């Protein structure tokens, strides 16, 4: 088997860069709602900083792709880490130091820019790898999420008193430092020349692609699962703090949640191959429903733990399953626009979910917030069952 020059060093750089970025993302998810509650004049706006980060991702994802097409992946990744990670971390730290809510939201928006570029690390791993190493390279990048499952909550918990004069500011300063470290690593990334899909290849109108039932199910599963996960995850630190749990306990729950999100990725593909994508999507909805219903049985640490683990694994099944199904509905020439529309829909709903999270928690409480997810989960289940009945050949085999 032939190998691409420097493929292993390149993948190692991307894995570490992914881990450093995920530390930033998980820190925001763990801590920014709590900080937002402290800084905001209105408790219902506590999760606005998290929504601003997702908004930053929504508005930067497509421009990031176009920018990197023009200047290259390495320059693009360095720009994203500098302008998003370093600057976003410093602005967030300054906002906490002076107690200005809108400035904290601005820092979160910049961190969303960091995410908009970092989302392409997994694609870059495929670009720098030989065909024989490509699947392992992508898995290694996914492993960055598993490592960050420990590092992100630890940063949110242990570094919050790092700067005694700025309580809760330390984790954001650490984000800036880690992003600067990522910049140094990314300067050593060497991307091979890459080709684009043949412009002469046949590409159907987006309306024709979107009219396929498989496309609709793929987008509904991915977007609904992601929005539900983000809404509940964003509210969790606030709900736990309101019940007297300390940040170490919040960090513990978030660690297990993120493990639930990323660890199954190493076997989800095999499960889809064995059982079919439809059954995995249904399993994801069952897990999400279980997560919502756990809240009826109590509000102890064990209940938060079980609910958030189920939430993470359910998200994984819906997101990975939806992504696998999406790959079956487009050609190589159509890949860019189909994936772009899919991501735009997903992160638009994720931004809405993270914004509604604080509103719902403040107005209806933790238990009702979780139960309001059940109608959407049921809708995804019913649409998936309908698709399985009408498209039975894809149920018993993996999406191609």
pLDDT over 70 at 199, yes or no: no
Tokens representing 162 are: 């790092």
pLDDT reported for residue 132: 66
Q: Distance (Å, rounded) from C-alpha 278 to C-alpha 383?
A: 10
Q: What are phi and psi of 203, to 5 degrees?
A: -135, 120
Q: What is the mean pLDDT of residues 341-365?
A: 83
pLDDT reported for residue 45: 83
Q: Distance (Å, rounded) from C-alpha 197 to C-alpha 394?
A: 26
pLDDT over 90 at 126, yes or no: no
* Boundaries of domain holding 280: 206-400
Q: Looking up tokens 């009945």, which residue turns up?
A: 389
pLDDT over 80 at 223, yes or no: yes
Q: What is the mean pLDDT of residues 124-143?
A: 69
Higher per-residue pLDDT: 287 or 71: 287
Name the domain count of the chain. Answer: 2
Asked whether residue 199 is domain-assigned, the answer is no
Asked whether residue 277 is domain-assigned, the answer is yes
pLDDT band, very low/low/confident/very high, at 350 (cuts 50, 70, 90):
confident
| Same-domain check for residues 128 and 227 | no
pLDDT band, very low/low/confident/very high, at 385 (cuts 50, 70, 90):
very high
| Same-domain check for residues 348 and 259 | yes
| Same-domain check for residues 117 and 18 | yes
pLDDT band, very low/low/confident/very high, at 188 (cuts 50, 70, 90):
very high
pLDDT over 50 at 119, yes or no: yes
pLDDT reported for residue 72: 84
pLDDT over 90 at 353, yes or no: no
pLDDT reported for residue 394: 43
pLDDT reported for residue 5: 62
Asked whether residue 347 is domain-assigned, the answer is yes
pLDDT over 80 at 356, yes or no: yes
CATH at residue 131: 1.20.1250.20
Q: Which residues contact 30 (CB under 8 A, 6 or more apart)?
A: 152, 153, 156, 157, 237, 250, 251, 254
| Same-domain check for residues 105 and 1 | yes
pLDDT over 60 at 392, yes or no: no
Question: Is residue 298 left, alpha or beta, with left meaning phi > 0 and alpha meaning psi from -120 to 50?
Answer: left
pLDDT over 80 at 272, yes or no: yes
pLDDT reported for residue 93: 95
Asked whether residue 49 is domain-assigned, the answer is yes
| Same-domain check for residues 249 and 344 | yes
Q: Distance (Å, rounded) from C-alpha 54 to C-alpha 33?
A: 13
| Same-domain check for residues 317 and 355 | yes
pLDDT reported for residue 201: 55
| Same-domain check for residues 150 and 214 | no
Asked whether residue 201 is domain-assigned, the answer is no
Query: Is there a contact between 190 and 15 (Cβ–Cβ < 8 Å)?
Result: no
Query: Is there a contact between 241 and 365 (Cβ–Cβ < 8 Å)?
Result: no
pLDDT reported for residue 133: 67
Of 330, 231, 338, 214, the C-alpha closest to 278 is: 214
- Per DSSP, the chain holds a count of helices (H) and strands (E) of 18, 0
Q: Distance (Å, rounded) from C-alpha 259 to C-alpha 278?
A: 23
| Same-domain check for residues 219 and 154 | no
Asked whether residue 196 is domain-assigned, the answer is no
Rounded percentage of the chain residues whose pLDDT exceeds 70: 88
pLDDT reported for residue 396: 40
Query: Is there a contact between 232 and 376 (Cβ–Cβ < 8 Å)?
Result: no
pLDDT band, very low/low/confident/very high, at 137 (cuts 50, 70, 90):
low
Query: Is there a contact between 285 and 381 (Cβ–Cβ < 8 Å)?
Result: yes
Q: Distance (Å, rounded) from C-alpha 22 to C-alpha 228?
A: 20
Residue 43 per-residue DSSP state: G
Asked whether residue 198 is domain-assigned, the answer is no
pLDDT reported for residue 225: 93
pLDDT over 60 at 146, yes or no: yes
Asked whether residue 6 is domain-assigned, the answer is yes
| Same-domain check for residues 211 and 154 | no
pLDDT over 60 at 211, yes or no: yes
pLDDT over 60 at 105, yes or no: yes
Q: What is the mean pLDDT of residues 182-195?
A: 82
Longest dimension (CA), the chain: 62
C-alpha torsion angle, residues 83, 84, 90, 94 (rounded to 10): 110
Among 52-66, 160-174, 330-344, the least confident range: 330-344
Of 356, 358, 399, the C-alpha closest to 376 is: 356
| Same-domain check for residues 152 and 113 | yes
CA-atom Rg of the chain in angstroms: 20
Q: What is the mean pLDDT of residues 117-124?
A: 80
| Same-domain check for residues 271 and 374 | yes
């Amino acid at each position: 088997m032939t190998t691409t020059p420097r493929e292993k060093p390149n993948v190692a750089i991307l894995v570490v860069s992914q881990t450093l970025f995920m530390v930033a993302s998980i820190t925001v998810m763990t801590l920014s709602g709590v900080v937002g509650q402290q800084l905001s004049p209105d408790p219902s706006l506590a999760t606005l900083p998290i929504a601003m980060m997702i908004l930053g991702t929504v508005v930067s994802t497509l421009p990031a792709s176009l920018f990197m097409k023009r200047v290259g992946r390495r320059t693009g990744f360095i720009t994203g880490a500098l302008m998003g990670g370093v600057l976003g971390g410093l602005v967030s730290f300054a906002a906490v130091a002076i107690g200005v809510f809108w400035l904290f939201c601005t820092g979160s928006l910049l961190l969303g820019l960091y995410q908009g570029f970092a989302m392409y690390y997994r694609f870059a791993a495929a670009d720098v790898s030989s065909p024989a190493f490509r699947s392992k390279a992508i898995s290694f990048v996914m492993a960055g999420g598993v490592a960050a499952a420990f590092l992100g909550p630890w940063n949110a918990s242990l570094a919050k008193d790092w700067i005694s004069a700025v309580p809760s500011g330390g984790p954001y300063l650490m984000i800036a430092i880690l992003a600067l470290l990522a910049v140094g690593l990314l300067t050593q990334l060497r991307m091979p020349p890459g080709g684009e899909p043949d412009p002469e290849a046949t590409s159907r109108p987006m309306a024709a692609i979107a009219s396929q039932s498989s496309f609709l199910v793929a987008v509904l599963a991915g977007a609904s699962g992601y929005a539900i996960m983000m809404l509940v995850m964003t509210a969790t630190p606030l709900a736990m703090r309101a019940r007297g749990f300390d940040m170490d306990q919040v960090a513990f729950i978030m660690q297990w949640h993120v493990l639930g999100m990323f660890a199954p990725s190493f076997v989800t593909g095999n499960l889809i191959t064995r059982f079919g994508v439809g059954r995995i999507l249904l399993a994801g909805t069952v897990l999400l429903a279980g997560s919502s219903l756990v809240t009826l049985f109590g509000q102890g640490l064990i209940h938060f733990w079980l609910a958030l683990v189920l939430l993470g694994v359910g998200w994984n099944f819906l997101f990975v399953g939806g992504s696998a199904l999406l790959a079956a509905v487009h050609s190589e020439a159509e890949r860019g626009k189909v994936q772009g529309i899919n991501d735009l829909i997903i992160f638009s709903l994720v931004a809405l979910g993270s914004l509604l999270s604080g509103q719902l928690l403040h107005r209806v409480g933790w238990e009702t917030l979780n139960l309001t997810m059940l109608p959407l989960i049921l809708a995804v289940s019913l649409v998936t069952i309908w698709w399985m009945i009408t498209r039975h050949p894809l149920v018993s085999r993996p999406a191609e």
